[in-house]
Amino acid sequence: MIIIIIILSAALIIFAALAAILKRDIRRLNQTLRKIAATDTNMRATTGTFDKDISELCVTVNDILEKHNKIMAAGDKSNREFRQAVTNISHDLRTPLTSAIGYIQMLKSVQTPEIKKLEYLDIIEQRLKSLSSLMNSLFEYTRIIEGKAAQNIEKINICNILRDILSDYYTDFIGKNFTVEIDIPDSPVYILYDAGLFKRAMQNLIQNVLLHGNEYFKLTVDTDNIIYRNKVYNPEAIEVERLFERFYTADLSRSGNAAGLGLAIVKEIAENMGGGVHAYIENDMLSICVRLKNF
């Protein structure tokens, strides 16, 4: 009987000691979590416990903390991009508007010759057209990313559309002394998509070449890809991995509308039609490849 009492007493003492250690580990883990919650830190929860369940809890907590930090980092990046976008868009709106107002003031001046007034009216018209184009691009981009852009899905021959677009910009390329190479197959290449949206994406890429390209442009089309290649002035300044980000502000990506929306629209349309887009640089040549979805 005495032996049984001794064994039970020893067991109780061991159990109490283990419970105390377990309680201490839980208290330390709780203190660590409170500290993490109260401060902006990348600390991780740690424990030296022997208990498997507490160790697994610690691992789970750290997984949650890592996901939380990633969400916070993404939110901070999004906020920075938004603030930069507001700055860029404000600048893009203010510049032509301020210019137009200035010319309006000169128009109102009695000292302005009549011949100059006609010139100023032309300039004001161009500034207002620039504003209109900017607002249309912003509106279009918003509708595309929200999935509200009207779509008429049909079987379209992209070769014919590209030939029509190139003919529209023929004089622009000639005026800028571009050497142009076109490799479009005689046989049709069909996709199922909205012809208007597809045409807009291709126009944006052409405009990007004209605004930021240099001397040489080549368009290649096959059943899987459409590739735009052109020389660029300052290839080392281009962050290719960011080229299709909305509001990316490198000069190369600004296709005459707000803060990089030209190429951002290309990306949204390419993905919307089931394909994709990527870019790369070799020496002074920028290549933008639009991947097609076959059917």
d(CA 56, CA 204): 52
| Kind plus residue range of the DSSP H or E element containing 175 | helix 170-175
Q: What pLDDT score does 211 carry?
A: 85
Q: What pLDDT score does 257 carry?
A: 44
Q: Is 92 exposed, middle or buried (0-12, 13-18, 19+ CB in 10 A)?
A: buried
Q: What pLDDT score does 19 carry?
A: 64
- Yes or no: say if 173 and 180 are a contact pair by the CB < 8 Å rule: yes
Q: What is the DSSP letter of 292?
A: P
CB neighbours of residue 173 within 10 Å: 17
Residue by residue, pLDDT tens for the chain (295 residues) are 677 777 766 666 766 666 666 777 777 777 777 777 777 667 777 766 667 777 788 888 888 888 888 888 888 877 777 777 677 677 777 878 888 899 899 988 888 888 888 898 999 988 888 788 777 777 777 777 777 666 788 999 999 999 999 999 999 999 999 999 999 999 999 999 999 899 999 999 998 899 888 889 999 999 999 999 999 888 888 888 888 877 665 554 444 444 457 888 899 999 988 999 999 999 889 999 999 986 5
Q: What pLDDT score does 260 carry?
A: 58
d(CA 200, CA 165): 10
User: Which pTM was predicted?
Assistant: 0.64
Q: What pLDDT score does 259 carry?
A: 46
